[in-house]
Structure formats: structure tokens, C-alpha cells
Amino acid sequence: MNEPDPNWQKLVAAARRSAPEATQPNPAPPGFAGRIVGLRTSIIELARVLFWRRWSLGVALLCVALFIAILIILRCTDSPAPLIETPEPPSTTSP
């Protein structure tokens, strides 16, 4: 097997030491202030979700309106004569 790389071991040790800080960057103070901070973060997350939902709904409605407009434009225009004329089939009746 390969020998363990000392640089890799240092990197893993540094990541383990910094893991608790990464999971909770700003710990909330205990008591009433902690609840206020928690409420503030949840309100920010809710506002972000509602903003993206509203934005995506607006984009979807715009796409539907564009599709309907193109459909109406294509149906209303008179189709021009075909570029290649088809010959009439020969008559099967004999004189």
C-alpha cells in the first residue's frame, strides 16, 4: 500500500479543526436575543424563497404569453402559394 502523505494528513487535521466554525459561523446568543437572531435568519430565508418563486412564476407567465402570441401570429397569416407546384394527376377517363 501507499504510505500516508504527511501533507494530506495536515490538510485533514486542519479541516477537522475548522469544521465546527463552518457549520455555525455566528452562534446566536442565549435567551431572547438568540430567538430574535433565529427569527431574523428564518425571515430572510423565507423572503428569498418567495422572491425566487415569484420571479420564476413571472418568467413562466411571460413564456406562455410569448408562445400564445407566436401561435396567433402564425395562424393569422395567410399561407403563401407553395413554391413547388404539383402537377395534376392524369385523368383516368377515356374519350
Q: What is the pLDDT of residues 8-18, one digit of tens each?
A: 888 888 877 77
Kindly state whether residue 13 falls inside one of the protein's structural domains.
Answer: no
Give the pLDDT band of residue 22 (cuts 50, 70, 90): very low
| 37: containing domain | 29-74
For 11-38, give one letter per residue: b (16+ CB within 10 A) or e.
eeeeeeeeeeeeeeeeeeeeeeeeeeee
Compute the average pLDDT of residues 5-33.
70
As for how many domains the chain has, the answer is 1
Place of cell 463552518: 22
Kindly state whether residue 42 falls inside one of the protein's structural domains.
Answer: yes
Kindly state whether residue 49 falls inside one of the protein's structural domains.
Answer: yes
Q: Which helix (H) or strand (E) holds 92?
A: none
Q: Please, is 4 exposed, middle or buried when counting C-beta atoms within 10 Å of its C-beta (0-12, 13-18, 19+)?
A: exposed
The predicted pLDDT at position 68 comes to 93
Q: If you ran DSSP here, which 8-state letter would residue 86 be given?
A: P
The predicted pLDDT at position 46 comes to 86
Kindly state whether residue 10 falls inside one of the protein's structural domains.
Answer: no
Kindly state whether residue 47 falls inside one of the protein's structural domains.
Answer: yes
pTM over 0.85: no
Kindly state whether residue 90 falls inside one of the protein's structural domains.
Answer: no
Kindly state whether residue 89 falls inside one of the protein's structural domains.
Answer: no
| 28 close to 38: Cβ distance less than 8 angstroms | yes
The predicted pLDDT at position 67 comes to 95
